[in-house]
Amino acid sequence: MADLYGHLPRGPAGVLRAARWSMLGLRAAWLHESSFRLEVCLFAVLGPLGWWLGATPVEQVLLIGSCLLVMAMELMNSSMEAVIERFGSERHELAGRAKDMGSAAVFVLMINVALVWALLLLPRYL
């Protein structure tokens, strides 16, 4: 949530509040979004695998970070869909387009994961 009184310096208490709101967001995504749960489960496998297979710290960051980007975009897509649903469940062309574009953004980052993993690992193991 935003500061109630404008853009005040956060300080340690403000940082803790922001961290709490972030944890609430992650909890909500876990409870209400099956796609997010699936991506977290995939990350539970691919994260350690990327750590193990990455030959250098840069490769490890690329392998793991590409997966984290998918989850971050899924959170953005889910938040956008929640806002659209908040304003009504009737079909509207723009609402449908926004939801489709959010889904496409997640898909593009999934392609990014496949490319990163393939370009880093296939030459080594083929």
Any known ligand binding at 39? no
**Cβ(124)–Cβ(55) below 8 Å:** yes
102-110 contacts, C-beta under 8 A, 24 or more apart: 102/76, 102/77, 103/77, 105/73, 105/76, 105/77, 106/35, 106/70, 106/73, 106/74, 106/77, 109/66, 109/69, 109/70, 109/73, 110/70
Write out pLDDT tens, residues 9-25.
678 888 888 899 999 99
Q: Is 74 a catalytic residue?
A: yes
Question: 34-125 architecture in CATH?
Answer: Orthogonal Bundle (1.10)
Amino acid at 10: R
Any known ligand binding at 90? yes
Catalytic residue (choose from 39, 74, 85, 93)? 74
Write out pLDDT tens, residues 44-98.
999 999 999 999 999 999 999 999 999 999 999 999 999 998 888 788 899 999 9
This prediction has a pTM of 0.87
Amino acid at 53: L
Any known ligand binding at 82? no
SS3 call for 5: coil
Q: What are the sequence ranges of the domains in the chain?
A: 1-32, 34-125
